[in-house]
Amino acid sequence: MVALANNVVVHLARHKVSTAAALVVLAMIVAAVFAPWLAPHGPNIQFDNGLTNSGLPVPPGRVFPLGTDLMGRDLLSRMLYGARTSLVVGLAANAVAVFIGTVLGVVAGFVRGIMGAAIMRFTDLMLAFPALILAIALAAILHPTLWIVIAVIALVNWTWVCRVVYTQTIAISEREYIEAVRSLGASPLRVVLRHLLPHLVPTVIVWGTLGIATAVQLEATLSFLGVGVQPPTPSWGNIIFENQAYFSTAPWLVLLPGIAIVVVALAFNLLGDALRDVFDPTSRSRS
Amino acid sequence: MLNSVPKSTRPVRRVAAVVVAACLLTGFGAAAAAPKRGGTMTVSYQNDVSTLDPAIGYDWQNWPMMRVLFSRLLTYKPGTTDLTTDLAQSYTVSPDGKTYIFKLRPRAKFGNGDSLTADAVKYSYERVVDPKMASPGQAFFHSIKGYDEMVAGKATHLSGVTVVDPLTVKVELSQPDATILQVLAMNFGDIVDPAVAKKYGKDFARHPMGSGPFMLKEWVPGQKLVFVRNPYYFEKGLPYLDKVVFDIGQDPLVALLRLQRGEVDLLGDGIPPAKFVEVTHNPKWKSQVVVGHPLETSYLTMNTQMKPFDDVRVRRAVNMAVNKKHIVRLINGRGHPTDQVLPPGMPGYDKNYKGYRYDLKKAKALMKAAGYANGVSTELYVYNTDPNPRIAQAIQADLGHIGIKVALRSLGQAQVISAGGTPKTAPMVWSGGMAWVDDFPDPSDFYGPILGCGSAVKGGWNWAWYCNKDIDALAAKADTLAQPNEVQERLALWRKVFGAAMHDAPWVPVFNEVQYTMHSKRVAADPANAFSDPGVFPFNYARIYATDGK
Amino acid sequence: MIGRYLGRRLLLGVLLLLGVTVVTFILLYLLPADPARMIAGRSATAAAVERVREQLGLNLPLYQQYLHFLGRVLHGDLGRSYMQRVDVSTLVGARIWPTLQLMLASIGFELLLGVTSGIIASLRPRQAVDRIAMVLTFVGVSAPQFVVGIMLLYVFAMYFNWFPMGGYGSPIHIVLPALSLGLLGSGWYSRVTRSEMLDVLSQDYIRTARAKGAGPWRTVMIHALRNAALPVVAMIGMDIGYFMSGVVVVESVFGWPGIGQLMWQAIQSVDAPIIMAITMVSAIAIVMGNLLADIVALFVDPRIKLR
């Protein structure tokens, strides 16, 4: 364990990009956790001078460093608070989705047979499942919370991971060396862990990071339909969603949260690559 | 009236009247040249037209369309809300106010050349009342004799509508009805071609045939509709245009860009809010902007059967705490703050009415008196389409100042309507996007369905669940005053009704909306306010002409 | 062999369709929105609303309503829209072909942009080209559809005047909407292609092939690309289902008469017959898309056997 930690530190020290990525991730988490202390204003305070006389938002400037939104609220403060919702959704919901998808995909692809077919047909079922209708039904029955959003996103997104992991697992399982390892009497679990998973890590990283961006956006749609965080609670997704029609009038309202999403997802991507190098030194030759 | 198809991008409306003759900013005033004939106009709409069957259509988009595909016994003088004859050449009313006799225009014809006779009138009215039709306009005909029997399925015809001869129709009422002529001037009073309606049955919606200035030539679902001149139209010289093309499916923002490039002549969905300030402040485009004033009130309901709003003091405090001026600024000034139920321009609107003033101190005192000195939590339901969630957030902040902690429920239109109409479910509802706009310019339309005891039921539209039997009795009395010499007495009664209702404060009336749209320089209108004609709000397609026509 | 496999998959597909309709039907039933009230209009009396409810059969118990629905569907009748009062088959039918066209063109752009950039990035891992591709990928995936669509419209239709301002009809109309969707979705293809290529390129036998002097392009094309194709094919299969359920925003920016706008309106107004029909269409697309992907995979990698 200590050695591993040591590995991480050594690696980060050697690689500037990975270090920067780690710092960005850390900064985002700090921003979310300490939003009440960092934010210059309350996220929901509607400032009278936050709107022009004709009711338009104010561009970034001295009073409002990142400008205001259509309600005259400070965008910087809203983005800091919004990080809470968006990071939880982007990381938790997406992580659950990727985990379920990977596990089921590997099982279906490795075990195959009836079990595999059953999993894959179940995946089809979930893909065809009308998630938005479910969301609306839940919105009407339950009080809106973030947990429903996380559940719905996880429910929707794992299927994609599962199908891709499934095809990869099949392809890898058919490779000669896996057959060779198996014929030498290695236990299936060992084959999966030692010889299969390392090849799937890149896929997991792709989904785990690009998925952050899509989950954050999906959260906005679900909240719009009434299941997620309700106004005035900010999230990066709903800041973009609410203001996108105004992007030629007030581009900062779309650009800044958009950049935040890209930066977080990218940082996790770089960090993922770095961690893979740490855990699997041979991969460096691969990538 | 509520349209039956929720529009996702724009507050819902269907209006049959407008306050002031609009067109403030257009350059087509008295100096406008004589209208020309010929030419084509392209109108943009985001959503496909739901139906063109006048027994069914009930939204802001299809209403003005059916207005020009069909004609009816009565209509409004162009550019006004004054009733005038249309298909009827003349009519008489019996002294007891229960029998109307209409003389039809001779030689009136449908677009396919079929003659329009009294039989078609009887057929069209019965079609709306027929329970199999499930028409949203059915109940408007309730005062016609034989209505109840037909609705209950005991009769297949309306006994109160008689064909005297091919050009004479007699309409008998079971009781005097101050609004019946207005009802016959609605689209539910449109005369359809019986032969075509029978041929297509329920698909008449896609194959409408009437006797209006235009007829439907083509309808490609989700893409476009084409209206062409009806060669048999009875009013000489109309319509001005040969053809109107409705371009369907594009976002209003793109529609605006296309108008600015000259590809579109009229924005059916209006100026998108995101571009509103930019366009109206730009000298280049300003002259092409049209202003309309629907007879509409946007309001906040408080459920009088739920805590804390069962206490009139709390409801009054809320009335004093909502900062209406700020809300109007939020929507870039596209509205006027109001304190009463009726919109200005509606008969019965009380110019001298003094409502609740914005007064936080008094509001706090009232909250304290009601026993909520330490605050209280509640919920506000709102339709999830911009600008409604923003307005709800402003109300939320305002009420926070007097200790009312409001949680928002931002949902689809159908769900908000359902919550409002379910007992003890929605403590507050913001009406925006579902706000009450008139069916016809008469105050009765703003009481019974939204404030009367009869609508404080499950599935009703009285979302405040307000019921005051004394006021109900006053309202009932007002509606029996149907004689022309009783008009003033009737309006005075209605003023009393709304004044008394607001004393109980079931609502916070917030603003009357003002609508803005835009047309290209290629088109003009005569009268100039045909772009926001109060009789067929918003567009009188038959009276818009192409400046490059003949 | 393949016949039996296909038969089994299609049979399961029918079962899946049945399952999805049951679930959707129940969810719509649970929704507190009263279609009878919406149809009867706001001035209707309670009795009138009740009559409408009976006419629609909405007063019946849930299971009877479902059986009626099923019976009608088996006779090819998808019912009538509550709001538009037109046969649903007309409304949905008119939008299927445009949706299919947009789907094919968008997937084309996704592959063109995604696979190409993925291959290029994988040949120079962690160098400038790879890094730039990575950033663009994340920007593409994170960008709001509306903004991307409008930007393309501004640049290529308004400024350069190369394309029409939206609409449907000639092949030129499809370019911008498909390009928007291609830009938004290509990131996934790019990243997956890249990581698969890298994985294969590091295999011993590829290294051997390279060492033996086979040119880098030959190795890449023959060995690596074939393996990288498998997940890409799986993703195409799923994209078929995704695009067939409609892409609301891009459709409305470009005025494309696809299924997405119809579905979105139906969801907002709880127009159950339309929702049911479109859910079935997209379920069929998902089953067919995935089946197609599984079959194509057989040809891409002959080692895979049918199970």
**Cα angle A47, A51, A52; round to 5:** 145
Give the pLDDT band of residue B349 (cuts 50, 70, 90).
Answer: very high
Q: H helices within B45-185, ranges in order? A: 62-69, 118-129, 147-151, 180-184
- Map tokens 């369309």 to a residue: B65
Asked if B415 is an interface residue toward chain A (Cβ–Cβ < 8 A), one would say: yes
Residue C41: how many other CB atoms lie within 10 Å: 26
Q: What is the pLDDT of residues B263-272, one digit of tens each?
A: 999 999 999 9
Which chain B residue is nearest to residue A251, measuring alpha carbons? B274
Interface test with chain B among C31, C264, C268, by most B beta carbons within 10 Å: C268
Asked if C166 is an interface residue toward chain B (Cβ–Cβ < 8 A), one would say: yes
Q: What's the whole-number average pLDDT of chain B? A: 88
Is B3's pLDDT higher than 50? Answer: no
pLDDT, average across residues A62-90: 93
**Which amino acid is it at A114?**
I
Asked if B150 is an interface residue toward chain C (Cβ–Cβ < 8 A), one would say: no
Structural domain boundaries, residue A86: 2-38+74-286
Interface test with chain A among B280, B282, B330, B334, by most A beta carbons within 10 Å: B330
A159, A164, A248 ranked by CB distance to C231: nearest: A164
| Half-sphere exposure (Cβ direction) of B327: Cα atoms closer than 13 Å | 32
- Evaluate whether residue A129 is within a structural domain: yes
- Greater confidence, B191 or C9? B191
| Confidence at residue B1, expressed as pLDDT on a 0 to 100 scale | 36
Task: Tell me which H or E stretch contains C174.
Answer: helix C172-201
| Confidence at residue C40, expressed as pLDDT on a 0 to 100 scale | 82
| Half-sphere exposure (Cβ direction) of B365: Cα atoms closer than 13 Å | 5
| Half-sphere exposure (Cβ direction) of A251: Cα atoms closer than 13 Å | 5
Q: What is the predicted ipTM?
A: 0.88
| Confidence at residue B16, expressed as pLDDT on a 0 to 100 scale | 33
* B249 dihedral zone (left: phi>0; alpha: psi -120 to 50; beta): left
Interface test with chain C among A124, A158, A252, by most C beta carbons within 10 Å: A124
Judging contacts by C-beta atoms under 8 Å, the chain C residues touching residue B461 are: 42
Give the B:C interface size as CB pairs under 8 Å: 160
Judging contacts by C-beta atoms under 8 Å, the chain C residues touching residue A112 are: 307
Q: What is the pLDDT of residues A44-57, one digit of tens each?
A: 999 989 988 888 89
Cross-strand partners of B227 = B216, B244
Among candidate residues B242, B204, B234, the one with its CA nearest the CA of residue B71: B234
* Chain A nearest C-alpha distance from B231 (Å): 43
Judged by CB atoms closer than 8 Å, whether chains meet at C234 and A164 is answered as: yes
* Chain C nearest C-alpha distance from A248 (Å): 9
* Chain A nearest C-alpha distance from B396 (Å): 9
- Greater confidence, C113 or B487? C113
Judged by CB atoms closer than 8 Å, whether chains meet at A164 and C235 is answered as: yes
Chains that touch C (3 or more CB pairs under 8 A): A, B
Is B219's pLDDT higher than 60? Answer: yes
- Evaluate whether residue A45 is within a structural domain: no
Interface test with chain C among A107, A158, A164, by most C beta carbons within 10 Å: A164
Chains that touch B (3 or more CB pairs under 8 A): A, C
Judged by CB atoms closer than 8 Å, whether chains meet at C270 and B221 is answered as: no
pLDDT, average across residues A222-232: 87
- Map tokens 């057929």 to a residue: B123
Bridge-based pairing state of the strands B161-165 and B168-172: antiparallel
Which chain B residue is nearest to residue A140, measuring alpha carbons? B415
The CATH number of whichever domain residue A211 belongs to comes to 1.10.3720.10
**Cα angle A264, A148, A33; round to 5:** 40
Judged by CB atoms closer than 8 Å, whether chains meet at C141 and A247 is answered as: no
Asked if B396 is an interface residue toward chain A (Cβ–Cβ < 8 A), one would say: yes
| Confidence at residue C184, expressed as pLDDT on a 0 to 100 scale | 92
Q: List, in order, residues 6 or more apart from B455 with CB less than 8 Å away.
A: B448, B449, B461, B462
Is A241's pLDDT higher than 80? Answer: yes
* Chain C nearest C-alpha distance from B141 (Å): 11
Judged by CB atoms closer than 8 Å, whether chains meet at A214 and C141 is answered as: yes
Judged by CB atoms closer than 8 Å, whether chains meet at C165 and B263 is answered as: yes
Provide the chain A residues 150-209 that lie in CB contact (below 8 A) with chain B: none
Judging contacts by C-beta atoms under 8 Å, the chain C residues touching residue B206 are: 86, 90
Judging contacts by C-beta atoms under 8 Å, the chain C residues touching residue B419 are: 32
**Which amino acid is it at B94?**
S
C203, C282, C304 ranked by CB distance to A128: nearest: C282
Provide the chain C residues 61-80 that lie in CB contact (below 8 A) with chain B: 80
A125, A133, A240 ranked by CB distance to C275: nearest: A133
Q: List, in order, residues 6 or more apart from C303 with CB less than 8 Å away.
A: A171, A174
Q: How far, in Å, CA of A224 to CA of C211, rounded?
A: 57
Judging contacts by C-beta atoms under 8 Å, the chain C residues touching residue A177 are: 204
Cross-strand partners of B171 = B100, B161
**Phi, psi angle pair for B234, to nearest 5°:** -75, -20
Is B255's pLDDT higher than 90? Answer: yes
Task: Tell me which H or E stretch contains C56.
Answer: helix C46-56
Residue B203: how many other CB atoms lie within 10 Å: 14
Judging contacts by C-beta atoms under 8 Å, the chain B residues touching residue C261 are: 47, 222, 249
Residue A84: how many other CB atoms lie within 10 Å: 19
Per the structure, the count of domains in chain A is: 1
Instruction: Judge whether C249 and C145 are in contact, CB under 8 Å.
Output: yes
> Peptide bond preceding C144: is omega within 30 degrees of 0, i.e. cis?
no
* Chain B nearest C-alpha distance from C233 (Å): 32
C16, C27, C143 ranked by CB distance to A134: nearest: C27
Q: H helices within B243-294, ranges in order? A: 252-261, 273-280, 283-286
Structural domains of chain C, with CATH: 2-74 (no CATH), 89-300 (1.10.3720.10)
Judged by CB atoms closer than 8 Å, whether chains meet at B330 and A70 is answered as: yes
Q: What is the pLDDT along chain C (307 residues), one digit of tens a residue?
A: 678 888 988 999 999 999 999 999 999 988 877 888 888 877 777 788 888 888 888 889 999 999 999 999 999 899 888 888 888 998 999 999 999 999 999 999 999 999 999 988 988 888 888 889 999 999 998 888 889 999 999 999 989 999 999 889 889 999 999 999 999 999 999 999 998 888 877 776 666 766 666 666 666 667 778 778 888 999 999 899 889 887 888 999 999 999 998 998 888 888 999 999 999 999 999 999 999 998 888 888 777 665 4
In this structure, what DSSP letter does residue B471 have? H
**Phi, psi angle pair for B186, to nearest 5°:** -75, 170
Q: What is the pLDDT of residues B227-245, one digit of tens each?
A: 999 999 998 888 999 999 9
Asked if C33 is an interface residue toward chain B (Cβ–Cβ < 8 A), one would say: yes
**Which amino acid is it at B319?**
N
Is B42's pLDDT higher than 90? Answer: yes
Judging contacts by C-beta atoms under 8 Å, the chain C residues touching residue B43 are: none
| Confidence at residue B12, expressed as pLDDT on a 0 to 100 scale | 36
Give the A:C interface size as CB pairs under 8 Å: 161
> Peptide bond preceding C61: is omega within 30 degrees of 0, i.e. cis?
no
Judging contacts by C-beta atoms under 8 Å, the chain C residues touching residue B256 are: none
- Evaluate whether residue A85 is within a structural domain: yes
Q: How far, in Å, CA of A106 to CA of A191, rounded?
A: 12
Polymer length of chain A = 287
| Confidence at residue B172, expressed as pLDDT on a 0 to 100 scale | 95
Is B438's pLDDT higher than 80? Answer: no
pLDDT, average across residues B297-317: 95
Interface test with chain B among C27, C37, C42, by most B beta carbons within 10 Å: C42
Chains that touch A (3 or more CB pairs under 8 A): B, C
Give the pLDDT band of residue B33 (cuts 50, 70, 90).
Answer: low
- Evaluate whether residue A61 is within a structural domain: no
- Map tokens 């004093």 to a residue: B320
Q: What is the pLDDT of residues B173-189, one digit of tens each?
A: 998 888 899 899 999 99
CA dihedral (A271, A276, A277, A282) in degrees, to 10, reads -160
Provide the chain C residues 239-268 that lie in CB contact (below 8 A) with chain B: 251-258, 261-262, 264-265, 267-268
Q: How far, in Å, CA of A135 to CA of A137, rounded?
A: 5
pLDDT, average across residues B444-448: 87
Q: What is the pLDDT of residues C192-228, one digit of tens each?
A: 999 888 887 777 666 676 666 666 666 666 777 877 8
* Chain C nearest C-alpha distance from A5 (Å): 24
Judging contacts by C-beta atoms under 8 Å, the chain C residues touching residue B418 are: 32-34
Judged by CB atoms closer than 8 Å, whether chains meet at B332 and A55 is answered as: yes
Q: State the pTM of this model.
A: 0.89
Q: What is the pLDDT of residues B106-130, one digit of tens each?
A: 989 999 999 999 999 999 999 999 9
Asked if A132 is an interface residue toward chain B (Cβ–Cβ < 8 A), one would say: no
| Confidence at residue A132, expressed as pLDDT on a 0 to 100 scale | 84
Q: How far, in Å, CA of A228 to CA of C230, rounded?
A: 36
Is B24's pLDDT higher than 90? Answer: no
Q: What's the whole-number average pLDDT of chain A? A: 86
